[in-house]
Amino acid sequence: MHTPVISGSGVFTPAHVITNDELVVAFNAYADRYNLENASEISAGDLPEKAHSSSDFIVAASGIHQRFVMDKTGILDPGIMHPILPQRDDETPSIMAEMALEACTKALEKAGKTAADIDLVIVAASNLERAYPAVAIEVQALLGANGFAFDMNVACSSATFGIQTASDMIRAGSVRAALVVNPEICSAHLEWRDRDCHFIFGDVCTATVLERKSDVTTPHFEVLSTKCLTQFSNNIRNNNGFLRRSRPGGMQDRRDMQFMQNGRKVFKEVLPIVSRHILSHIESEGVKPDQLRRLWLHQANKAMNDFIGKKVLGRVPEPHEQPNILQDYANTSSAGSIIAFAKHSDDIAPGDLGVICSFGAGYSVGSVLLKRGA
Ligand code: COA
């Protein structure tokens, strides 16, 4: 059996940024326009009036201050309210593959590897821009990587489930070095016309290089173990899919074709699952909470992370023990915990332990216990 390590990570950050204030101005203009256009139905009680959003609410409810997106013009146009990402011809690299390239290049550079060293590419994300061919195979070809590639989707837990998959293959010897890539264009499945959630998501791509410990040439983290868990829930759901055309009314502008969640229930139900999951994972490895130097948590909500950090460590974590990036990036689905890891792991001392943990739709939870290599 080989020992898997994470030897590199990289982040692609889109060029467009939207502050809460910009977002709220656009949403409120859209709501005013909607209320005017539907004034008679609203006054007859047939339609509810759309209420305004507010930056203060967004910061208080989520801790989010801004988000990066692939296109802000459509999102901020009250007559459009979604990103405009034109279809590319089939010979041009697809948008997810393009995002992946920059994140992979940075991760490979950090690992001191070239694409030719890679023999597995997993694109693990909440949404994939087409059914087939796999985006991962396109990324493999554009990079010039060897071996094989495939896509997988476990919503917000895609990255950690991908890391478990790659780690297990490295342990077993079926691959030597892997790239796990998470291109998340959450702006395309977010319902920007719904004030309950319009602030939640942003776009990004992260990449992680995993390889055999015996091959590593740069500072790295040994993957001590991984643990994945799923428990079915409809509280985060998106009904879009290939059966849409075949269903009566399926092609209409329907709310359930975008991200839907019962946020309060998610909050209440997921928190205990996640803190129990991390504690039982480290216990099974003989690790005590006070041995953890860092928690790189999923980045959905600051209050959620504060709660999990306190439950796991048994005290309020210091900011450096549980770094948040959601104030800058918002929720980037599976990529969030990997952004936190990529930006806040260089200072960890050899021998120190940390946990990457993601959680979300499914429900799904994935944790990766890491030890800084010598
Ligand atoms: N601006 C102003 N007020 C708003 C608003 C907005 N943008 N959105 C909602 N409100 C109002 C609501 O209408 C509600 O008003 P009411 O009390 O009069 O009914 C009030 O603010 C509270 O709304 P609620 O949705 O209950 O807020 P919340 O405190 O639960 O925060 C979330 C909402 C989504 C931030 C929070 O539930 C959450 O983070 N849940 C988990 C998210 C998560 O992890 N999802 C995983 C996705 S992968």
- The pLDDT of 86-95, averaged and rounded, is 97
Cα–Cα distance for residue pair 34/49, rounded to 1 Å? 8
**Active-site residue list:** 156
Residue 185 backbone dihedrals phi, psi, to 5 degrees: -105, 70
Q: How confident is the model at residue 374 (pLDDT cuts 50, 70, 90)?
A: confident
Pocket around ligand 1 at a 6 A CB cut-off: 53-54, 57-58, 61-62, 156, 195-196, 236, 261, 263-264, 266-267, 300-301, 304, 331, 360-361
The HSE-up count of residue 33 (CA atoms within 13 Å, CB side) is: 12
Distance 290 CA to ligand 1 centre (A): 33
CA distance 365 to 23: 30
Tens of pLDDT, residues 136-173: 999 999 999 999 999 999 999 999 999 999 999 999 99
Cis amide prior to 363 (ω within 30 degrees): yes
Is 321 within 8 Å of 309 (Cβ atoms)? yes
Are 125 and 153 in contact by the 8 Å Cβ rule? The answer is yes
Task: Tell me, in angstroms, the distance from the centre of ligand 1 to residue 352's CA.
Answer: 37
- Local confidence band at 287 (pLDDT 50, 70, 90 cut-offs): very high
- Calpha distance 347→97 (Å, rounded): 31
pLDDT (mean) for 82-86: 97
Which residue among 25, 28, 57 is best mutated to probe the pocket of ligand 1, counting the most ligand atoms within 8 A of its Cβ? Answer: 57
Nearest CA to ligand 1 atom 30: 264
Q: Work out the mean pLDDT of the chain and round it to a whole number.
A: 97
Strand partners, 11: 206
50 CA distance to ligand 1 middle (Å): 15
Distance 357 CA to ligand 1 centre (A): 23
Q: What is the mean pLDDT of residues 210-239?
A: 97
What pLDDT, on a 0 to 100 scale, did the predictor assign at position 347?
96
- pLDDT tens digits, 10-40: 999 999 999 999 999 999 999 999 999 999 9
By DSSP bridging, strand 4-12 and strand 221-230 are antiparallel
Q: Residue 135's pLDDT is what?
A: 98
